[in-house]
């Protein structure tokens, strides 16, 4: 969707210079998909390209550039060069990483957030992408939205004072509304319904045996080393009962792996005991 948006802006002549900022593990993916799907020749910002810049400022030489978020956030020299550049569009992927928060009545800014403030000042259009919801704290969300509109969201959020309507700045795209290029839904519809099912005698017996095993035996090896870890029993019971509800094969594989881990631990303990009884003679 973002690639198509950039492509249309380029065709219309509304976009000449575009910078994409994303986590380091996503730069190749961005470059590949923009090239393969939209024929957009974006270049990844690398140390070699920075050093080879003829003008001394690589950002003035790359009209279509992809940069690593943390590289920009930690390199003050690159930030200085960014300040000397201007862009038609800057896109930040995983934008929730550019966070700030209130603590002790003061704002705690991160280097990523400071980078976001810089990026918002050197571009005509600023697009933040994220699939991660905010932490539920309106004051922190207010700081994040200030990257898009510092005047409207300036200061700490207070009920009845600050407006929380972000409909003119935010577009929420839920899975049910995502479409392919031909108009078909991107994700198949999921229909959940409750099935009233009674366990057979064999299934009920298996359920009881698994439950008894977890409650009585599962955590015995750990309890010998660290008494009082009762919480692990409840957690293990929940996990294994889910596996049991999935299928007999699933619970079989889980118990099989558990047995292999215990056998490996037993072998290690026997090896340690054996080593402790050996006395080497000095030659």
> Above 80 in pLDDT, residue 228?
no
> Tens of pLDDT along 17-63?
999 999 999 999 999 999 998 889 999 999 999 999 999 999 999 99
More confident residue, 267 or 119: 119
Q: Which helix (H) or strand (E) holds 101?
A: strand 100-103
| Fold category of 2-177 in CATH | Rossmann fold (3.40.50)
Least confident of 63-67, 117-121, 264-268: 264-268
Per-residue CA distances from 231 to 29, 124, 223, 243, 257 (Å): 41, 54, 11, 19, 21
> Above 90 in pLDDT, residue 266?
no
What pLDDT shows up at residue 232?
57
What pLDDT shows up at residue 265?
84
DSSP structure string for 127-138: EE--SS---S-H
DSSP state of 43: E
Q: Mean pLDDT across the stretch 149-171?
A: 69
């Amino acid at each position: 969707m973002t690639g198509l948006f950039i492509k249309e802006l380029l065709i219309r002549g509304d976009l000449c210079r575009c910078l994409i900022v994303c986590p380091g593990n996503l730069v190749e993916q961005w470059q590949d998909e923009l090239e393969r799907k939209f024929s957009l020749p974006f270049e990844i910002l690398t140390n070699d390209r920075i050093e080879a810049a003829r003008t001394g400022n690589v950002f003035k030489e790359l009209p279509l550039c992809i940069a690593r978020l943390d590289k920009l956030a930690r390199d003050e020299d690159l930030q200085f060069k960014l300040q000397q550049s201007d862009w038609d569009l800057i896109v930040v992927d995983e934008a929730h990483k550019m966070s700030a928060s209130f603590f002790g009545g003061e704002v705690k800014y991160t280097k990523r957030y400071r980078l976001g403030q810089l990026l918002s000042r050197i571009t005509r259009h600023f697009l933040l992408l994220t699939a991660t919801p905010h932490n539920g704290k309106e004051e922190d969300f207010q700081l994040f939205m200030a990257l898009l509109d510092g005047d409207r969201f300036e200061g700490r959020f207070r009920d009845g004072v600050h407006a929380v309507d972000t409909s003119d700045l935010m577009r929420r795209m839920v899975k049910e509304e995502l479409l392919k290029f031909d108009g078909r839904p991107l994700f198949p519809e999921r229909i959940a319904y409750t099935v009233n099912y009674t366990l057979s005698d064999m299934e009920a017996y298996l359920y009881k045996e698994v439950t008894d095993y977890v409650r009585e035996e599962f955590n015995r090896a750990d309890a010998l080393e660290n008494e009082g870890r009762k919480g692990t029993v409840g957690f293990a019971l929940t996990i294994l009962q889910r596996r049991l509800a999935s299928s007999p094969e699933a619970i079989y594989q889980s118990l099989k792996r558990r047995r292999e881990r215990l056998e490996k631990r037993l072998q290690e303990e026997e090896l340690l005991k054996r080593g402790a009884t050996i006395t080497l003679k000095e030659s």
